[in-house]
Amino acid sequence: MRKCLLLLLLVTITLYGHTENGYDLWLRYPRIPAGPYNNQVQQLTASFYLPVTSPTLQAARDEVQIGSRGLTGKMAKPASKPHAHVPLLIAVYSPEMEKLTGIPPADTTGLGEEGYLIYSNSAGTRLRITARTDKGVLYGTFHFLRLLQTRQSLENLRIHSQPRLRLRLLNHWDNLDRTVERGYAGFSIWNWHTLPSLIDQRYIDYARACASVGINGSVLTNVNANATILTPAYLLKVKALADVFRPFGIKVYLTARFSAPIESGGLKTADPLHEEVRQWWKNKAKEIYALIPDFGGFLVKANSEGQPGPQDYQRTHADGANMLGEALAPHGGIVIWRAFVYAAENPVDRHMQAYNDFVPLDGKFLPNVMVQVKNGAIDFMPREPFHPLFGAMPKTPLMMEFQLTQEYLGQSTHLVYLAPLFKETLESDTWAKGKGSIVAKVIDGSLHSHSLNGMAAVANTGNDINWCGHPFAQANWYALGRLAWDHSLTSEQIADEWLRMTFSNEKKFINPVKKIMLESRDILVDYMNPLGLHHIMGTGHHYGPAPWVNDQRRPEWNPVYYHRADSNGLGFNRTATGSKALAQYSPEVRALWEDPADCDEKYLLWFHHIPWQQQLSSGRNLWDELVYRYYTGTARVKTIQETWNTVRPWVDRERHEQVRQLLNIQYEEAVWWRNACLLYFSGFSGRPIPGNFEQPDKTLDYYKSLRFPYAPGN
């Protein structure tokens, strides 16, 4: 307890002391301008009562003081006793507290362990935050501070909030040498070499940021796992991070390398049905929980892209997952088994392989096992139809896996707000139990009555001063947390909050920049992967266009595998006359996409091989529409640049200049994507780029010759 409190004292290194370099994320707490709202907030935060009986309540109390000092210039003073006239009261609810403070009867029904209530009087001069647990109090405190940062009315508040999802996780693809697979913001924020003795302030600020948006779990290590993390010396390092995160309601999880019993246990096999192997994992679980009593569990990538797994021993994914589930169950831990599996020796369309592997196992997993499914069946593409597994495994809790790090979306140099991508998936209708069976209802457990449910995303953090490389990439971390807490929020609501907290409350800034954010993903799709094109990026590093690559040792690693360009047309036929991948969706979903004449054009080339001369809804043929999309997407990046220049008065110089320069790179790379792809596809269509468009100034051979041996995140 004392150690946790001492660590939390570091939080008093207040955020407002930093320059505007992005380190403070959305927890800047800038001064509220003089006026009625400032006066109201000063009155409300002049004195507050928050009894500290745990490190979590200490964290809430520290945050109130940090926030009040930043927002008003005066640090809120804690009252020694609760009473009816204290302006701000924050406490775990109890009838005794209600009597002492005059709190009106509070309905805590449905709040669970993490929900909270916020309510105020008609004048907004008395405000109460209460919850059933310390964690609920902490989340409620952050919500209250968000209201102040975004200048919301404090009068007659009646806020009753609880998370829609039980598990809200970040998956860090961080390696023990501090490199980050698909990381574009520097090295890992975990310094394994100096842990457990040195606790970096960044660990605490990371936990604060996660807690502020409701994230309650952190998977510390790469899914391409290293068995070393499970050794005694490294478990002590993990324990140190768990101790830092615990006051903020965050559990730690680890990736488990399936072959760890061989690599670090000295066994000759990792067969999940071998008794000695099962016992090894049980002993390892006991060892972990002795150090970290609230350890979350294991995330596992197995039998995919060369990772070891149960199929190495002719066992199923259920056999492997259940072995680990059996080891963790006595301690309350869970297994999150990734469904991202495909094999080079399997000739079936990669789109279909996860479905084929997992649907026959539905109902065969232990109760503490979840299957984590990517939003789409290929691999975090800029746009994908929802994964056919959603709705197809009613007896198994499925967890959503999104990607914050922009592996296929311009990496750290492109401004791309991902909430619209997340919402597009969450609101897709699976028709699993009739109309309205949207993906969000699958993953929150409501569709199939699963109490174990959740959402995860591959983190985009690194040790860059601003955490995420691109200042606007922070919005994706923020959006993940907010949607995992409440997936009914709109992309616009989340963008509005983030902009107000991260930059400015000035409408002349918010309105045009919010428009940029909301359009940014569609803009990128047009200059990279229009009309359902996918997986045509450079191989290995995944940086830039390379639709011509056909020399990779595995067929599904070659872009030509996906676009199928020939003299007749373009696109991957996944209908009944092609790979038959569409058959994995319900009949109602198939009906939306199986006829190219009716298929939503954003998925057209995903599911169909379309003749170059075929007329699309615009009246243009496929080739002319492809040209139009690539050029329009690129031109819209110019519009983003122009808009960003107009909001200079409301953005600090350092961040405005950084975004300006990154937008220059984004435009250059959009031109690169446009020219390289159109020059390549022109060779198949037999048609030139029409003369009314700016012609490429480089040849296709030039683009093919480009090499990037040191691209980050590879």
Residue 264 neighbours by CB under 8 Å, 6+ apart: 227, 228, 230, 231
Q: Residue 584 has what DSSP assignment? A: G
Phi, psi of 457 (to 5 degrees): -150, 145
Distance between CA atoms of 402 and 458, rounded to whole angstroms? 6
State the CB neighbour count (10 A cutoff) for residue 507: 10
Angle between helices 653-685 and 507-528 (to 10 degrees): 20
**714 located within any domain:** no
Strand 398-403 vs strand 454-458: parallel, antiparallel, or unpaired? parallel
343 and 450 within one domain: yes
Tell which phi-psi region holds residue 713, choosing left (phi > 0), alpha (psi between -120 and 50) or beta.
left
pLDDT of residue 104: 66
- The rounded percent of the chain whose pLDDT value lies above 90 is 93
The pair of three-digit structure tokens given for residue 47, joined into one six-digit string: 């004195």
Is the pLDDT at 325 greater than 70, yes or no?
yes
Q: Determine contact, residues 420/521, Cβ cutoff 8 Å.
A: yes
**Which residue of the set 62, 407, 424, 624 is catalytic?**
407
Q: Which of 161, 176, 198 lies at the terminal end of a domain, its last residue? A: 161
The pair of three-digit structure tokens given for residue 687, joined into one six-digit string: 């048609």
Q: Determine contact, residues 450/8, Cβ cutoff 8 Å.
A: no
**679 located within any domain:** yes
pLDDT in tens, 235-255: 999 999 999 999 999 999 999
pLDDT in tens, 329-378: 999 999 999 999 998 788 999 999 999 999 999 999 999 999 999 999 99
pLDDT of residue 1: 41
**293 located within any domain:** yes
**503 located within any domain:** no
**442 located within any domain:** yes
Angle between helices 507-528 and 622-646 (to 10 degrees): 150
Q: What is the 3-state secondary structure (H, E, C) of 562-574?
A: HHCCCCCEECCCC
351 and 247 within one domain: yes
Is residue 407 among the annotated active site residues? yes
Distance between CA atoms of 129 and 232, rounded to whole angstroms? 42
232 and 91 within one domain: no
> How much is the average pLDDT of 552-574?
96
Residue 508 neighbours by CB under 8 Å, 6+ apart: 647, 650
482 and 448 within one domain: yes
The pair of three-digit structure tokens given for residue 598, joined into one six-digit string: 């009716």
pLDDT tier for residue 19 given thresholds of 50, 70 and 90: low
**510 located within any domain:** no
187 and 119 within one domain: no
**585 located within any domain:** no
287 burial via Cβ count (<10 Å: 0-12, 13-18, 19+): middle
The DSSP bridge partners found for residue 387 are none
For 292, the 3-state DSSP assignment is coil
pLDDT of residue 100: 73
242 and 156 within one domain: no
pLDDT of residue 108: 83
The DSSP bridge partners found for residue 338 are 372
pLDDT in tens, 204-246: 999 999 999 999 999 999 999 999 999 999 999 999 999 999 9
- Round the CA-based radius of gyration of the chain to a whole number and report it: 26
Strand 127-131 vs strand 88-92: parallel, antiparallel, or unpaired? parallel
289 and 227 within one domain: yes
Query: Mean pLDDT score of the chain, rounded to an integer?
Result: 95
Distance between CA atoms of 316 and 35, rounded to whole angstroms? 65
Q: Which amino acid is at 47?
A: S
Q: Determine contact, residues 91/169, Cβ cutoff 8 Å.
A: no
Query: CATH number, domain at 689?
Result: 3.90.1330.10
For 438, the 3-state DSSP assignment is strand
327 and 224 within one domain: yes
Is the pLDDT at 167 greater than 90, yes or no?
yes
The pair of three-digit structure tokens given for residue 108, joined into one six-digit string: 């805590």
The pair of three-digit structure tokens given for residue 670, joined into one six-digit string: 């959009």
Is the pLDDT at 404 greater than 50, yes or no?
yes
Q: Determine contact, residues 216/170, Cβ cutoff 8 Å.
A: no
**Which residue of the set 263, 362, 379, 588 is catalytic?**
379
- The rounded percent of the chain whose pLDDT value lies above 70 is 97
> How much is the average pLDDT of 425-450?
98
Q: Which of 127, 161, 195 lies at the terminal end of a domain, its last residue? A: 161
Residue 523 neighbours by CB under 8 Å, 6+ apart: 633, 636, 637, 640
**594 located within any domain:** no
231 and 104 within one domain: no
Distance between CA atoms of 610 and 625, rounded to whole angstroms? 12
pLDDT in tens, 617-632: 999 999 999 999 999 9
pLDDT of residue 6: 38
pLDDT in tens, 662-671: 999 999 999 9
Query: CATH number, domain at 131?
Result: 3.30.379.10
Q: Which amino acid is at 187?
A: F
Q: Which of 494, 509, 537 lies at the terminal end of a domain, its last residue? A: 494
pLDDT tier for residue 103 given thresholds of 50, 70 and 90: low
pLDDT of residue 7: 42
151 and 229 within one domain: no
226 and 186 within one domain: yes
The pair of three-digit structure tokens given for residue 102, joined into one six-digit string: 């005059």
- For residue 196, is the peptide bond before it cis, meaning its omega torsion is within 30 degrees of 0? yes
- For residue 700, what are the domain limits? 525-572+609-705
pLDDT of residue 102: 67
- Cα 128 to Cα 83, 112, 355, 423, 709, distances in angstroms: 12, 18, 49, 32, 56
For 274, the 3-state DSSP assignment is coil
Residue 106 neighbours by CB under 8 Å, 6+ apart: 93, 98, 117, 119, 128, 130
pLDDT tier for residue 17 given thresholds of 50, 70 and 90: very low
Is residue 305 among the annotated active site residues? yes
Q: Could you give the number of structural domains in the chain? A: 3
Residue found by looking up tokens 């040790």 in the block: 463
For 399, the 3-state DSSP assignment is strand
**Which residue of the set 98, 113, 263, 305 is catalytic?**
305
Residue 371 neighbours by CB under 8 Å, 6+ apart: 336, 337, 338, 339, 358, 365, 389, 393, 396, 397, 398, 399
pLDDT in tens, 61-97: 999 999 999 999 999 999 988 887 899 999 999 888 7
Distance between CA atoms of 533 and 525, rounded to whole angstroms? 9
Strand 569-570 vs strand 610-611: parallel, antiparallel, or unpaired? antiparallel
pLDDT tier for residue 107 given thresholds of 50, 70 and 90: confident
Q: Which long-range contacts (CB under 8 A, 24 or more apart) does 641-648 make?
A: 641/667, 643/512, 643/513, 643/515, 643/516, 644/513, 644/516, 646/512, 647/508, 647/509, 647/512, 647/513
108 vs 196, residue with greater confidence? 196
For 432, the 3-state DSSP assignment is strand
149 and 52 within one domain: yes
269 burial via Cβ count (<10 Å: 0-12, 13-18, 19+): middle
* Helix boundaries (H) for 529-586: 560-563
pLDDT in tens, 490-508: 999 999 999 999 999 999 9
Is residue 464 among the annotated active site residues? no
Q: Determine contact, residues 145/195, Cβ cutoff 8 Å.
A: no
Query: CATH number, domain at 359?
Result: 3.20.20.80
Distance between CA atoms of 680 and 121, rounded to whole angstroms? 65
Closest CA to 60 of 71, 70, 68, 52: 52
